[in-house]
Amino acid sequence: MNDQFIIETKDLRKNFISKSKGKKKIVEAVKGINLAVKKGEIYGFLGPNGAGKSTTQKMLSTILSPTSGEVRINGYDLAKQPQQIRQSIGYVSQAGGTDSMSTGMENLILQSLLYGLDKETAQKRALQFTDRFQMSSFADRLAVSYSGGQRRRLDLALGMIHHPSILLLDEPTVGLDPQSRAYLWDEIRNLKEEGITILLTTHYLDEADKLCDTVAIIDYGEIAAEGTPAKLKDDIGADSVLLGFGDINTSKKSGEILSKEIEAQGVKVEDKNVHLYIRNGERELPNILRLLDSNNLIVESISLSKPSLDDVFLKHTGRSLREDDK
């Protein structure tokens, strides 16, 4: 494997056995993921809930053992050197893992001690981190009283306290108010500036787009596409036209006609909407409308946009990530 990559996986797989009505069924949660994460980048898994993002991250964090495949993190082999990997990584799960019946300070100190730091260093680090993440005003209160944003800062500090070179973040900004979210994004960027490699999962398009250097689109346990957000969007090579219709029949019929008559790179019918990927969308729009009008198909709404990561997701998986959020 290559030195340039700090996290590498080869054909990483995870099967779960689910039992329903006495029958055993194998569920393939992760179906052969190959990863190559560069040192110092922010790498994002973008995908809906249940796509296998968290499962993959849990395997990388050593708490879930892979069914098969190879993993190398920071030069260590997951199967043989989990303890070294644990020292190299920080992991912040979606639940966070704050002990709410302890104070923030106690949480931080215990975490340091568990990583083998001595008492004095643990104390010093805890103070540094409460300072850095602006927690000084509440660090001596029990964590049960923290707001969502305060708790998330403590989670992040707990993941960073032993100065890992890699940080794994599972849905870092779910449920946060915009202000806390912006704060966390800034902190994640700062960590990158310090040379830390960050692998995060998200189902927020803007998070993947604005925060990540590389995005892997993951769906049904597989990576459907990978690249920088700019490259992924460029690859679509077309504008996105979204036409809304009154009912599903009309949208279906319109989809059929449009795919026959218009030179588009892709036509996808989704519920009452038709997505059209087309070069020079502005110029084509009148033709599209004329065509629909002559077929007595009534368009209720139109929008034209430059491609977004959602369009990338739609192109590669056949569904929209936005739909999932509803």
Partner 1 sequence: MKALYETRLMFQRSLKHTVRNPIWVFLNLFQPLLYLFLFMPLLKSLGGVPGLPAGKTVQIFIPGLLVMLALFGSAFVGFGLVDEIRTGVIERFLVTPASRVAVIAGRVLKDVVVLLIQCILITLFSIPMGLSVNIEGFLMSLLLYAVIAIAMASMSYAFAIIFKSEDTLASTLNTIALPISLLSGIMLPLALAPLWIRDLSKANPFSYAVNASRALFSGDIGNKDVIIGFIIVILLAALTFWWAVRSLKKMAA
Q: Quick one: which H or E segment has residue 128? A: helix 119-132
Q: How far is CA 70 from the centre of its chain?
A: 22
- Using DSSP's 3-state secondary structure scheme, residue 31 falls into strand
Least separation, in Å, of the C-beta of 223 and partner 1?
Answer: 22
Backbone torsions φ then ψ of 106, nearest 5 degrees: -60, -40
Binding-site member from 63, 182, 248, 302 for partner 1 (CB under 8 A): 63
Binding-site member from 28, 77, 99, 213 for partner 1 (CB under 8 A): 99
145 token code pair: 């009283």
Identify the residue whose tokens are 């799960």: 93
Antiparallel, parallel or unpaired: β 166-170 and 197-202: parallel
Helix-strand-coil split of the chain, %, nearest 5: 40, 30, 30
293 token code pair: 């009008």
Looking at residues 144 to 183 of the shown chain, list those that interact with partner 1 (rule: CB under 8 A).
158
Torsion, CA 299, CA 305, CA 310, CA 312, rounded to 10: 110
Least separation, in Å, of the C-beta of 58 and partner 1?
Answer: 6
Least separation, in Å, of the C-beta of 111 and partner 1?
Answer: 7
Cβ closer to partner 1: 61 or 273? Answer: 61
Q: State yes or no: residue 56 binds partner 1 (CB under 8 A).
A: no
Least separation, in Å, of the C-beta of 170 and partner 1?
Answer: 10
* CB atoms closer than 10 angstroms to residue 117: 18
Q: State yes or no: residue 96 binds partner 1 (CB under 8 A).
A: yes
185 token code pair: 């994004």
Q: How far is CA 180 from the centre of its chain?
A: 18
Binding-site member from 18, 68, 83, 136 for partner 1 (CB under 8 A): 83
Least separation, in Å, of the C-beta of 96 and partner 1?
Answer: 5
**Which x/- pattern over 177-216 shows residues binding partner 1 (rule: CB under 8 A)?**
----------------------------------------
- Using DSSP's 3-state secondary structure scheme, residue 260 falls into helix
Cβ closer to partner 1: 32 or 97? Answer: 97
Binding-site member from 51, 78, 89, 257 for partner 1 (CB under 8 A): 89
Instruction: Write out the residues near partner 1 by the rule CB under 8 A.
Output: 58, 61-65, 83, 86-87, 89, 91, 93-102, 106, 110-111, 113-116, 142, 158
